[in-house]
Structure 1
Amino acid sequence: MKKLTSIVALAVSMAAADTINAQSTQKVKQKNSYTLVYEGALTKNEDGKVNIHPVKYKLNGIEVAANVYTPANYDASKKYPAIAVAHPNGGIKEQTAGLYAQRLAEAGYITIAANAAYQGASGGEPRHTDNPNYRTEDIHGMADYITQYAGVDANRLGVLGICGGGGYTLKAAQSDKRFKAVATLSMFNSGEVRRNGFQNSQLNTIQERLKQASDARAQQAAGGKIIYAGVASITDEEIAKTTTDLYREGYEYYYRTHAHPNSTFLYTMSSLQDLMTWDAAANMNLINQPLLMMAGSKADTKYMTDEAFSKATNAKNKELFVIDGATHIQTYWKPEYVSQAESKLLGFYKANL
């Protein structure tokens, strides 16, 4: 999916994407005042029901945009367990991260879904930087913010990471013991895939791609144009020709059925310097909290969950839950699979928070 693109071709593509995004922004705002694009999303706050609270806070000098969801009949004088939800690669808080955050709030949790720094509605330059250390810090930052939120019991904080957010959640939980229960859904090991290629398909080009990343950083440092990798826009024909479920269904989700102007598959080429030397499954033995990892039985990414799970030798009550029949992207939105994941999460958090 993250095909490398020339500066000229990408510039044309990005210009077209900007026009599409401007039109998309208006459509999204017309449909939902909070620009949420998932099914069943909140459209307004009502007394006695789950409410959404757009917030902003500073993390290492960068303004982060987040949504906090509070449960029905929320009372700031009471104490509630809380969950931080980390979004997928290319995703934002208004998509599947928001869906799961809202579902968990409906079950009585205070939840937070934040845009990664440098991405979505959060600040940070250059845009679309995809540094794994920053993404991990984003999760620490959600813990910083939500544990200070009125009504949150800081001793009952859980975390849920989806796709790339799942990989970063595993890394954050290795050192951040504020998280008392750790869960992932359709975990994607961004470092392994950027280094080896999806399903280890690019092992022969690792050094070549590291050279491209180094050259991109050198050009960026010299004040030149920022080089981007990834996909700015895509045609229906290109989607149909995509052979892997992850990328074909991912294009459909992010560019068609759940499109949002802040969501993009672009990332700075220089990001590969950090991504390709990073691995979500490294040091998994540092996780000593309860661990739940979920993946679809038909997900072509399941091998990443299996690998990381096997290395979590010190996790308490660890469980691998396979969602029968689901692909990776279908766990983001398809009601029967979301319901299974939600049910499992609720049992897990109830037992461990």
Structure 2
Amino acid sequence: MKNVVQATLLAMALGLAAGSASAADYRLNPYTLVYEGALTRNVAGEVNIHPVSYLLDGLRIAANVYTPANYDPARAYPAVVVAHPNGGVKEQVAGLYAQRLAEQGYITITADAAYQGASGGEPRSVDKPAHRIDDIHGMADFIAGYPGVDTARLGVLGLCGGGGYSLAAAQTDKRFKAVATISMFNSGRARRNGYADSQVDTLQQRLQQASHARAQEAAGGDVLYSGDANLTDEQIARLPFDLYRQGYAYYWKTHAHPNSTFRYTTSSLLDLMRWDATDQMALINQPLLMIAGSKADSLYMTQDAFAKATGTTDKQLVLLDGATHIQTYWMPKYVDAAVASLTTFYGRTLAQ
């Protein structure tokens, strides 16, 4: 309890807005889940969690499957693949939404990205779009064979960076009958231009750094990393964007998990900076729901992608009034609102 109180006070001090950022301590949860209301044990007749693993491109992927109350493998259930944010792991916000959707009757899966979290892959923290997109295809592969899953009723939900990668996956993977994102983050645009397009002037310089990192790796030298930081609370409070300030509080303080990290190999930028989540958006012909906070400084990314989704007439943009990007990860009133929209959307688009 002391740790939770301290985390809540710190979150408020860092401007996570009104309300408490209650979270579970991963050290006290048998599944190392960190979100509020996380499962601590499986109870017959209730939502259950099932840690699983499977091979994808020769790597061992660590995942959690959530099954709904009174799950009967002989029945046919709709299912949703949930893709986690950049730097996140399955035990954080992805697990929260996977559990909440299981409460609505869905079988859900969320997995750590290859080279990240508890999944395999060396060097660690490689963050390339092709891998992240294939992670989503791989979750679909696995869950399609899970007892009780109706493969004709498969949806995808992407959170933050996982949202951008989910859009890309759904462009060509028509197993996904419905596509949803929350606080979508266009990783390519952000790495290329800087957040809010604030680093366009240094683009070529950063490409040179990424090229040097790739050359050093190829020559057998040390792997270089970007995104490492060890900031004080005062330094965090002075960061220029809500996403950064509140993101540090979420990932490092209130909902910290040892497998979650902001770092990524600098050489990954060679792939990230030439990629964009909105390329080929017209290929999405499935129903599309995009959810974002009305006060999120990342909202421009969702709006841009939504406007480019010209291949579907069944699309909806839902703004959570007053929410910032990170608040959609944990603040109960925004999570509840997002789940309500998702439940209506998937209930209609994944109907039997």
TM-score normalised by the chain length of structure 1: 0.92
Amino acid at match of 1:91: G
| Letter matched to residue 139 of structure 1 | I
Query: What amino acid is the match of 1:255?
Result: W
1: CA distance, partners of 2:193 / 2:271? 14
The corresponding residue for 2:248 is 251
Of the structure 1 ranges 312-321 and 263-272, higher mean CA displacement relative to structure 2 is found in: 312-321
Aligned to 1:150: 147
1:289 aligns with 2:273: no
In structure 2, list runs of 5 or more residues that go unmatched.
1-23
Report deviation, 1:29: 4.8
Q: Distance in 1 between matches of 2:47 and 2:58?
A: 31
Instruction: Name the CA distance, whole Å, in 2 between partners of 1:240 and 1:31.
Output: 29
Find the aligned partners of 1:316 and 1:102 in 2 and give their Cα distance.
30
Q: Of the candidates 342, 345, 348, which is equivalent to residue 348 of structure 1?
A: 345
Distance in 2, Cα, partners of 1:157 & 1:314 = 19
Write the mapping of 1:220-235 to structure 2, written as runs, cut at 5 A: 220-235=217-232
CA distance, structure 2, for counterparts of residue 29 and residue 320 of structure 1:
34
SS of equivalent residue, structure 2 residue 179 = strand
Q: Which amino acid aligns with 1:140?
A: H
4+ residue segments displaced more than 6 Å: none
Q: How many residues align?
A: 327
- State the Cα RMSD in Å: 0.9
Tell whether the 8 Å contact from 2:78 to 2:151 is kept in structure 1 after alignment.
yes
Question: Which residue pairs with 2:175 in the alignment?
Answer: 178
1:1-353 to 2 correspondence within 5 Å?
28-353=25-350
The structural deviation recorded for 1:233 is 3.1
* Paired AA for residue 172 in structure 2: S
**Quick one: distance in 2 between partners of 1:258 and 1:141?**
26
Partner residue of 1:24? none
Asked if 1 retains the 8 angstrom alpha-carbon contact of 2:182 and 2:290, the reply is yes
Mapped to 1, the partners of 2:230 and 2:78 lie a distance apart of 40
- State the distance in 2 between where 1:237 and 1:87 align: 28
Q: Distance in 2 between matches of 1:196 and 1:169?
A: 21
1:329–1:77 Cα change, 3 Å: same
Q: Which amino acid aligns with 2:41?
A: K
Residues 233 and 255 of structure 1 are in contact (CA less than 8 Å); yes or no, is this contact kept in structure 2?
Answer: no
| Distance in 1 of aligned mates of 2:88 and 2:273 | 20
Write out per-residue CA displacement over residues 250-286 of structure 1, whole angstroms, 9 at most, x where no aligned residue: 0000000000000000000000000000000111000
- The one-letter code matched in structure 1 to 2:212 is D
Task: Report the CA distance between 1:296 and its aligned residue.
Answer: 0.3
Instruction: Give unpaired runs (5+ residues) of structure 1.
Output: 1-26
The alpha-carbon deviation at position 232 of structure 1 amounts to 4.3
Is the Cα contact below 8 Å between 1:64 and 1:116 reproduced in 2?
yes
1:162 shift after superposition: 0.3
Question: Residues 232 and 264 of structure 1 are in contact (CA less than 8 Å); yes or no, is this contact kept in structure 2?
Answer: no
Structure-2 residue corresponding to 1:4? none
**Identical positions, percent:** 67
